[in-house]
Amino acid sequence: MSLPAINQEYLVDFLVKLLNVTSPTGFAEPAIAFVEKELSQFKQLELSRTRKGALVAKWNVESDQPPVALTAHVDTLGAVVKEIKSNGRLKLSRIGGIQWPTVETEGVWVFTSNGEKVRGSVLIDTASGHVHGAAGSETPRNDEHMEVRLDARTTSEKETRELGINIGDCVAFDPRVEVTNGFVRSRFLDDKACVANIVAAIKSIADAGLSPVRSAYFFISNYEEVGHGAAAGIPSDVAELVTVDMAVVGKGQESDEFSATLCVKDGGGPYHFGLNNKMRALAEKHNIPYKTDVYVFYGSDGEAFWHAGGDVALALIGPGIDASHNYERAHMDGLVATTNWIMAYLLD
Ligand SMILES: [Zn+2]
């Protein structure tokens, strides 16, 4: 069989829109709701939510074989307001360990608990070159010295509180999405690229009038960046789980932006040998450009499910993402390869 064509315009358009929906872990509901709305057009899918807020889409088909599941996460790195300083600026507590130098001078939205949002930007507390001279480059980029300057008239804690801002409010960094020459440059391609891959695969299969060969669950997770996204919520009759998450690109890695990768082992140990070989065979059969790789500083939602006692065969595939957890970049070739791999897995 040959795989149905991918609507690449749809894939990029959906991805760009999703990247522009803010969704730091703990505040990912807008992105979950966005994906839910998109998937609701496919009448083949039964949609539900876990109590934790993850989205589950089931494509039910008649089959003697047990169902499979694919998972990807919409939550991203971010921060919350830790402290309102006496000068009205904000100290932050980071979500998912974002590295400070990667967001210095970035624009942010502060979302208040009453639904307002306030614009601002991240700066070092010795930002002015004319005030601090060389000290600006020597100041350590850490929780102590990084602050949010609000684009609102405030010079005191009281005035900032009067804007509706409170301790614990969500702070989302601008993704800065740009599409050029087949490259998609943005924060948080990890893992919105893979959510787009899953949605584009579902659309291609549905548009071609096809169905998966066995029932499939699509688990869109909302707490991955803190380690427990898919720990619960994948039904116990699921026999195989394919985690779709970014592949690591950089020095010493096999992965690149123009291929999809099968991760054989990461920081959490090896994946499932049998399912790995099944994924390799599917890639070979359908001429999908793929690499195999080992990731060092990496754990996945599939492993979260294993740690929580999930009894499934587990694999991890995904497109190569350059400069992950930094200012990331993907290429259409890697996104298409991953989408094709998902389709091959579902259809073959
Ligand atoms: Zn990820």
pLDDT in tens, 15-26: 999 999 999 999
- Per-residue pLDDT band at 97 (split at 50, 70, 90): confident
Length of the chain: 348
Q: Give 235-257 pLDDT, tens digit per residue.
A: 999 999 999 999 999 999 999 99
Which of these, 73, 47, 57, 66, lies nearest to 240 by C-alpha position?
Answer: 66
pLDDT at 337: 98
Mean of all residue pLDDT scores within the chain: 98
User: How far does the centroid of ligand 1 lie from the alpha carbon of residue 66, in Å?
Assistant: 27
* Cα–Cα dist 157/240, whole Å: 52
Is a pLDDT exceeding 90 seen at residue 10? yes
Encode burial over 255-282: b for 16+ CB neighbours within 10 A, e otherwise: bbbbbbbbbbbbebeebbeebbebbeeb
Residue 51 burial (C-beta neighbours within 10 Å; 0-12, 13-18, 19+) = exposed
Which of these, 338, 345, 339, 269, lies nearest to 302 by C-alpha position?
Answer: 269
- Per-residue pLDDT band at 182 (split at 50, 70, 90): very high
DSSP letter string over 285-341?
HTT--EEEEE-SS---HHHHHHHTT--SEEEEEEEEEETTTSSEEEEHHHHHHHHHH
* Cα–Cα dist 242/190, whole Å: 16
Q: Quote the tokens at residue 13.
A: 């358009």
Residues surrounding ion ligand 1 at CB below 5 Å: 190-191, 245
- Per-residue pLDDT band at 1 (split at 50, 70, 90): confident
Would you tell me the crossing angle of helices 8-19 and 189-207 to the nearest 10 degrees? Answer: 140
User: How far does the centroid of ligand 1 lie from the alpha carbon of residue 75, in Å?
Assistant: 8
- Per-residue pLDDT band at 96 (split at 50, 70, 90): very high
* Residue 224 is among the residues annotated as catalytic for this protein: yes
Residue keyed to tokens 């899918």: 45
- Per-residue pLDDT band at 204 (split at 50, 70, 90): very high
User: How far does the centroid of ligand 1 lie from the alpha carbon of residue 190, in Å?
Assistant: 5
Q: What is the mean pLDDT of residues 72-82?
A: 98
Predicted TM-score (pTM) of this structure: 0.97
Is a pLDDT exceeding 90 seen at residue 203? yes
Q: Provide, rounded to the nearest whole percent, the portion of the chain with pLDDT above 90.
A: 99
Rg (CA), the chain: 21
User: How far does the centroid of ligand 1 lie from the alpha carbon of residue 226, in Å?
Assistant: 10
User: How far does the centroid of ligand 1 lie from the alpha carbon of residue 103, in Å?
Assistant: 18
| Active-site option among 224, 225, 257, 303 | 224
- Per DSSP, 180 falls in state E
Antiparallel, parallel or unpaired: β 240-244 and 313-322: parallel
* Cα–Cα dist 33/39, whole Å: 10
Q: What is the mean pLDDT of residues 122-151?
A: 97
Is a pLDDT exceeding 90 seen at residue 94? yes
Q: Provide, rounded to the nearest whole percent, the portion of the chain with pLDDT above 70.
A: 100
Q: Three-state SS for 44?
A: coil
Which of these, 199, 169, 170, 171, lies nearest to 74 by C-alpha position?
Answer: 199
* Cα–Cα dist 198/59, whole Å: 13
pLDDT at 223: 98
* Cα–Cα dist 17/10, whole Å: 11
DSSP letter string over 123-172?
EETT--HHHHTTHHHHS--STTTEEEEESSS--SHHHHHHTT--TT-EEE
Residue type, 336: V
